[in-house]
Amino acid sequence: MSDMSDPLLQMKNLQRHYETPAGVVKALDGVSFEIHEGERVILLGPSGSGKTTLLNCLSALDSPTGGSYRFLGEEVPRNQSEKMTSFRRDNIGYVFQFFNLLQDLTVLENILLIQELAGKKDPARAKELLGLVGLDAEVDRFPGEISGGQQQRVAIARSIAKRPTLLLGDELTGNLDTETSNKVMEALVSACKQENITSVFVTHDEGLVRYATRVIRIDSGKIVSDEHLANDQEA
Amino acid sequence: MSALLNKRLARSLWRTKLRLLAVVLMVSVGVFAGITFGGYSHNLDGMYETLQGDDEEGANLADLWIDNRSASWTSEEVATFCGALGSSWPSTGAALDSCEGRSIVQGTMFHTNESGTHIINSLWHGIPEDANADKVWMPDEHSEGRVASSADEIVIDAHVVEALDLSLGDAVVIGAGTTSAEFTIVGIGYHPLHVFMAPEGSLFPPEAGQYVVGYLSDSGMARLTNTSLGSSNTLLLDVEGTPSFDLPDTEGYEGDEIDAVKALVSDALDVAELDGRVRDRGQNEPVEIMRQDLEGAKRTSIPFTVMIAAIASITIVLSLQRLVQSQAKEIAVLRTLGVNRTSLMTGYLIAPLVIGAIGCGLGALMGPWGVNGMLDFYEGIVGLPITEREVPLELYTAVMLPTMLVVFLSGAFPAWKSSRLDPLEVLSGQNQMRVGSSLLRRLTSWMPTTLGLSIRSSVRKPIRLMMTFLAVGISLMLFGSVQMMSAGLQDTIVGGLEEQQSWDAQVYIGEGGEASIIEWANERGATYEPLIEMPLGAVDDADGLERVFTLVGFDSYENGMRNVNVIEGERPQPSNGPSEVMMDEGSMVFLGWSVGEQHTVLLNGAEHDITVVGTTRGELVRTMYFLRADLGEALGVDATSMYLALPEGVTVDASLAEISMGVIERQTLIDGMNSLIEQQTQIFQAMMYLGLMFTIAVMFNTMIMNVAERDFELATLRVLGASTRSLGFMLLFESLLIGIIGGLVGVAFAYGGAVGLAASFSSWQFFVAIVVVPSVAYQLMAGVIVIAVAMTPIGIWRLRRMDLVEKVKDLSQ
């Protein structure tokens, strides 16, 4: 575990520019921030503000066109597909808005698959994680047989199954009603605390701010505010 | 609105140009094959009509043959018989056009060229200049000279003139038994009994120039055989028109007309006190084989076209359905905006029609080229000229209309599916939700999850998978069935001749001719074995139809020069009761006989009791095997030929030819069979390669669709950190699985196709047993697996170039 004084990740003057026939689009235009271990960060911003691009850069799905992005003190690979994949495999968990569970695999198998692909299959831990998100009774059911909220909780369990250092989510409650959203976020916060996972989520929903320890607001590719909240990191 | 929708669909289809091109090509190949086979059989039909023509100037081919190879009839006996037949002929019904005697004898040609004198097995016909039936066919521009009229003239069959470098005016020395004479070639022509240049008793023609047929005048035959003018061993009857006769390859009985004639003939034979075998066209092997060849060509065109169209149609169904699936959101939006179902359906119905029309057009343009190619090929193999060539308009219609119908129907289901999409379900993503199969889960739960996922993904769309396997099966039916049948034929027929027989030459002899052959053999240290081989057996089958077969008699089936492949029962032994015989597999099937049964058969017209003690394999013609002593006693013949095993350095020479009625060398026979099987296989080789191409196209289509359809889950796994390598292994396993199942299905289809082909070729005259040669099955399996596995890199390539940022966007929408 790194010292609290050392950031988990650090972005300096990060840029992501796109060349288009209409000119250069600056999706990210000099973004700088640090995130420390254990933080639960929410990225807020209007459509087209650059928050999803930032999430893509954080997860090494996309390569910045300028600036620096260091993770645990090392520069994150860019423009190298397999190295970026490897970085994701070793460090990143990802939760999608539409869950994206594999419909042909049961709830448990969805988690085992990720473990297997990461080379550390552990059925006991997979079941433990499902218990953590409150789904011990659903292990042998197919995703199509459970509710949307339950599916998202499976997705969360799947994303932390390989013990990622950083968990990312893009509008992960965007497809759920308020009550279900709250249940999912509670499960997520609980899992992150228990597994000591740092998390960054993109959302439009201001209501989710109460689950975060920090809120970064972004607009036109720039950070417009960065606010540490009183929500107890340990609570 | 509708035009814009169709334009949208056209653009979508254009994005999959490769698949579109493959489908268009499949349709065009189907039409091309249909026109090629149809045109081929149409022109062949016309050629046979001319070759076997029967008009006021006479008939090239007789309606009935009466022959007795063990004796000759004098001209007086022939006249008495024909007179009796004529007087008993009913005044009503078809008139008897002619009743004529002929001498047809085996012999040799002494052919001299720069490498020396060669002894060539031959057959000589004596045909009077004014003959009404059994004439030489000399089509304009495809033959030379005229028929033989004087005692020193001969017409040589056109099949051999090029190989032997013969031309009009050349002198040839020919022999028959112990006599020989020189003749001058006055004509080069054809004969309807010698379309396929195979010696009597064999279905395989030796290589060009290894078997000669010549047509002498009646006086020429008398001179050659040193017999009186008009002496005959065959009687030919020509009835006005062509009376219907039984077709051995059909279940029904069509021979009522000829039966009435045969009854009259039998009575007339009795009156004239003559013994002889009576055969109609269906019982005359050379005629029947060519009729079946033509029937086969006619029958083949439709199944081949339908099979190819079916493959194209399956590909269209799968492709359009995939298109509908991938455009589900677009369609849902259009439906939400108020576009009605009919407008949506129209495009999906028009698309296959356009694809079909282009394919049909291309196929129709290429068709005549294929017809000419097939006819050229026929001329090359069979050696008969196709005098007129045409591709009738009706053939284009007959091939293109069903093809268009099949292609149109293939668009109907996807069109219907597109119109039935529920916009709400699609836009809410519910159509993507499904519940996996519990059965599959149970079956694969013990496997690593990645493999389990591969299997479950592969069978996720069982109908599509089954259709793919069906298309692969049909493709392999085209590819593998001919290969399987040829390999089986080669294995049983040629293999038997190569491995189970040790003779080098078969020497035909006349009555009492053994002594001089034995002397020849003893002088040269050769070993010999006398045998009887005569096509003089007959029996009524269960339906009362007379089936004729060849009689063979050996001294031993254990230590002789020809070891017969006994697949059931025992070899014949001397018996005090009915003679013990073995019968070939084809005869046993057609007659419904079993080992151990007793039957009464006709041997050269006389009834004889036999016990079937064994079944043999390896004969194309129907054969009954006796001990020579038993058969000789029944026929009154000691031997008809001798097998010779020649020591090293001893070859067949002129002195042997002079004392024989003809000589066949085993190697010539093997070469001829191999050459024929190879040529026959070549006819279908184009089809075989097309089948292979189709297999590749179908597998490619399915694999690409499988990968494309799994973009969602593969992208998810990539985002979650799965390496290309691990996903590549999943795809490889999936390909292997589909390849193995596809291969098994393909082998089953190929076997079914081979059985079907063999059944369509098999008849009393020509029985093909299907023997599965394992190497062919392995080749087919391996071929499909290799094709399937070869598609994995394409999936991996697609994975590598996957834009994950775009995919994540898709996954979040």
- Does the beta-carbon distance from A117 to B429 stay under 8 Å? no
Residue with tokens 């006996």: B77
> From the CA of A29, how many Å to the nearest CA of chain B?
18
The helix-helix angle for B285-326 and B328-336 (nearest 10°) equals 60
Beta bridge partners of B103: B126
Contacts of B360 (CB under 8 A, 6+ apart): B27, B28, B31, B400, B403, B404
Does B686 touch chain A if contact means CB atoms closer than 8 Å? no
Nearest C-alpha in A relative to B724:
A82
- What is the C-alpha to C-alpha distance for residues B156 and B487, in angstroms, rounded to an integer? 35
Q: Torsion angle, CA of A132/A134/A140/A142, rounded to 10 degrees?
A: -110
Would you state the structure tokens that stand for residue A221, as one six-digit string? 């590719």
- What's the pLDDT at B429? 65
Q: Which among A81, A104, A122 is the top mutation candidate for probing chain B, defined by the most B β-carbons within 10 Å of its own β-carbon? A: A104
- What's the pLDDT at B536? 80
Q: Which among B425, B445, B449 is the top mutation candidate for probing chain A, defined by the most A β-carbons within 10 Å of its own β-carbon? A: B449
Q: B207: closest CA among B657, B645, B665?
A: B665
Give mean pLDDT, residues B351-369: 91
Report which of residues A57 and B30 the model is more confident about. Answer: A57
Neighbours of B519 (CB within 10 A): 11
> From the CA of A114, how many Å to the nearest CA of chain B?
8
**Segment holding B531, helix H or strand E:** strand B527-540
- What's the pLDDT at A235? 37
Residues of A in contact with B450 (CB under 8 A): 113, 116-117
- Does the beta-carbon distance from A103 to B721 stay under 8 Å? no
- What is the C-alpha to C-alpha distance for residues B656 and A218, in angstroms, rounded to an integer? 108
Residue with tokens 């520069």: A75
- What is the C-alpha to C-alpha distance for residues B64 and B279, in angstroms, rounded to an integer? 6
Q: Residue B240 corresponds to which amino acid?
A: E
Strand stretches in B60-95, DSSP E: 64-67
Q: Specify which of B414-428, B604-618, B694-708 reaches the highest per-range mean pLDDT.
A: B604-618
pLDDT at B6 over 50: yes
- What's the pLDDT at B1? 47
- Does the beta-carbon distance from B712 to A100 stay under 8 Å? yes
The radius of gyration of chain B from alpha carbons, rounded to an integer in Å, stands at: 33
- Does the beta-carbon distance from A61 to B449 stay under 8 Å? no
Would you state the structure tokens that stand for residue B608, as one six-digit string? 């004889």
Neighbours of B806 (CB within 10 A): 11
Backbone angles phi, psi at B172, to 5 degrees: -125, 145
Residues of B (705-724) whose Cβ lies below 8 Å from A = 712-713, 716-724
Nearest beta carbon to residue B435 from set A100, A117, A145: A145
- Does the beta-carbon distance from B723 to A85 stay under 8 Å? yes
pLDDT in tens, B737-749: 888 988 898 888 8
- What's the pLDDT at A1? 41
**Segment holding B267, helix H or strand E:** helix B256-272
CB burial class (10 A; 0-12, 13-18, 19+) of residue B742? buried
- What's the pLDDT at A2? 41
Give mean pLDDT, residues B726-739: 85
Q: Which among A18, A85, A203 is the top mutation candidate for probing chain B, defined by the most B β-carbons within 10 Å of its own β-carbon? A: A85
> From the CA of A227, how many Å to the nearest CA of chain B?
27
- Does the beta-carbon distance from B719 to A109 stay under 8 Å? no
Nearest C-alpha in A relative to B727:
A117
- What's the pLDDT at A234? 45
Give mean pLDDT, residues B180-184: 92
Q: Torsion angle, CA of B259/B264/B265/B267, rounded to 10 degrees?
A: 130
DSSP at B145: E
- Does the beta-carbon distance from A117 to B457 stay under 8 Å? no
Mean pLDDT by 10 residues, chain A (235 residues): 70 91 88 92 90 89 92 91 85 81 86 82 88 86 86 86 88 79 85 88 87 92 89 50
Would you state the structure tokens that stand for residue B469, as one six-digit string? 């396997």
Residues of B in contact with A160 (CB under 8 A): none
- Does the beta-carbon distance from B716 to A96 stay under 8 Å? yes
Judged by average pLDDT, the poorest of B109-113, B374-378, B413-417, B643-647 is B413-417
Residues of B in contact with A145 (CB under 8 A): 435
Residues of A in contact with B449 (CB under 8 A): 105, 109, 112-113, 116, 121
- What's the pLDDT at B754? 82
ipTM of the complex: 0.73
- Give just the sign of the alpha carbon dihedral A144, A150, A154, A159: positive
- What's the pLDDT at A3? 45
Q: Answer for the pair B367, B28: CB distance below 8 angstroms, yes or no.
A: no
DSSP chain A: ---TTS-SEEEEEEEEEEEETTEEEEEEEEEEEEE-TT-EEEEE--TTSSHHHHHHHHTTSS--SEEEEEETTEEPP-S-HHHHHHHHHHHEEEE-TT----TTS-HHHHHHHHHHHTT---HHHHHHHHHHTT-GGGTTS-GGGS-HHHHHHHHHHHHHTT--SEEEEESTTTTS-HHHHHHHHHHHHHHHHHHT-EEEEEES-GGGGGG-SEEEEEETTEEEEEEE--S-S--
- What's the pLDDT at B775? 79
> From the CA of A230, how many Å to the nearest CA of chain B?
31
Q: Is B227 helix (H, G, I), strand (E, B) or coil?
A: coil
- What is the C-alpha to C-alpha distance for residues B194 and B218, in angstroms, rounded to an integer? 19
Q: Which among A79, A100, A162 is the top mutation candidate for probing chain B, defined by the most B β-carbons within 10 Å of its own β-carbon? A: A100
Residue with tokens 């600036």: A67
Q: Is B607 helix (H, G, I), strand (E, B) or coil?
A: strand
Contacts of B745 (CB under 8 A, 6+ apart): B469, B470, B472, B473, B476
The radius of gyration of chain A from alpha carbons, rounded to an integer in Å, stands at: 17
- What is the C-alpha to C-alpha distance for residues B276 and B11, in angstroms, rounded to an integer? 76
pLDDT in tens, A124-172: 989 988 888 888 888 888 888 888 888 888 988 888 888 889 999 888 8
Q: Answer for the pair B277, B283: CB distance below 8 angstroms, yes or no.
A: no
- What is the C-alpha to C-alpha distance for residues B630 and B580, in angstroms, rounded to an integer? 9
- What is the C-alpha to C-alpha distance for residues B151 and B299, in angstroms, rounded to an integer? 46
Residues of B (417-436) whose Cβ lies below 8 Å from A = 429, 432-436
- Does the beta-carbon distance from B716 to A102 stay under 8 Å? yes
**Segment holding B386, helix H or strand E:** none
- Does the beta-carbon distance from A162 to B721 stay under 8 Å? yes
Nearest C-alpha in A relative to B807:
A61
Residues of B (781-800) whose Cβ lies below 8 Å from A = 800
Q: Answer for the pair B678, B766: CB distance below 8 angstroms, yes or no.
A: no
Q: Answer for the pair B647, B539: CB distance below 8 angstroms, yes or no.
A: no
Give mean pLDDT, residues B669-675: 75
pLDDT at B284 over 90: no
Report which of residues B787 and B333 the model is more confident about. Answer: B787
> From the CA of B313, how many Å to the nearest CA of chain A?
29
Instruction: Give the pLDDT band (50/70/90) at residue B521.
Output: very high
pLDDT in tens, B481-518: 777 777 777 776 666 666 777 888 888 887 778 888 99
- Does the beta-carbon distance from B722 to A94 stay under 8 Å? no
Nearest beta carbon to residue B436 from set A59, A105, A118: A105
- What is the C-alpha to C-alpha distance for residues B142 and B138, in angstroms, rounded to an integer? 7
- What is the C-alpha to C-alpha distance for residues B132 and B241, in angstroms, rounded to an integer? 13
Nearest C-alpha in B relative to A80:
B800
- Does the beta-carbon distance from B808 to A56 stay under 8 Å? yes
Would you state the structure tokens that stand for residue A9, as one six-digit string? 């990740």
Q: Answer for the pair B55, B133: CB distance below 8 angstroms, yes or no.
A: no
Residues of A in contact with B433 (CB under 8 A): 103, 143-144
> From the CA of B344, how many Å to the nearest CA of chain A?
29
pLDDT in tens, B437-477: 777 778 888 888 877 887 887 777 787 788 888 888 888 88
Nearest beta carbon to residue B433 from set A94, A102, A103: A103
Q: What is the pLDDT of chain B when averaged over all its residues?
A: 83
Give mean pLDDT, residues B222-228: 90
Q: Answer for the pair B505, B666: CB distance below 8 angstroms, yes or no.
A: yes
Residues of A in contact with B432 (CB under 8 A): 103
- Does the beta-carbon distance from A104 to B722 stay under 8 Å? no
Q: Answer for the pair B513, B637: CB distance below 8 angstroms, yes or no.
A: no
- What is the C-alpha to C-alpha distance for residues A99 and A155, in angstroms, rounded to an integer? 6
Q: Residue A177 corresponds to which amino acid?
A: D
